[in-house]
Amino acid sequence: MKKTLILLLTFLPLILFGQNLKCCETKKEVESYLSGKWKEKNTESNTVYEYWFEDEKGHLTLIEIAQNGDELIELEVQPFVEIHKSAKGFELEIIYLYGSVAYEIKHLDSDKMIILTEEGETEYHKIE
């Protein structure tokens, strides 16, 4: 009995630690936090990523911003977005005409999003 309790107390924190996403328990919560305009932190890129959901379908619009702050153009390719529950939390799948790519959402709240890419962590801040 003591061994079982010790094992349980040892592995339970590790299991809970493995679930990276801190904020959300449902897809609706992820959609709610994700909806809006995001800009990558610490980059000189003028691209803004706008996520929006309608009738349980996710959309992503890429917008280029001019130096004076005006929105210039929406890029022609407007991929779809799907949210998937995973063992570690949630994944963000971006679906293009030619294929798709999925990223683990490490952190998501009303102001900040961190996703894990092949290159490592990418942090975004909500601007609207």
Residue pLDDT, tens place only, 70-116: 666 666 567 899 999 998 899 999 998 889 999 999 999 999 999 99
Count the neighbouring beta carbons within 10 Å of the beta carbon of residue 34.
23
Q: What are phi and psi of 47, to 5 degrees?
A: -85, 135
- The reported pTM is 0.75
Is there a domain that residue 67 lies in?
Answer: yes
Is there a domain that residue 7 lies in?
Answer: no
pLDDT tens digit sequence for 6-15: 433 444 444 4
What length is written for the chain?
128
The CATH code of the domain that includes 43 is: 2.40.128
Is there a domain that residue 96 lies in?
Answer: yes
Is there a domain that residue 102 lies in?
Answer: yes
CA distance 107 to 57: 22
What is the radius of gyration, based on Cα positions, of the chain? 18
Is there a domain that residue 11 lies in?
Answer: no
38 lies in which domain range? 20-126
CA distance 107 to 122: 10
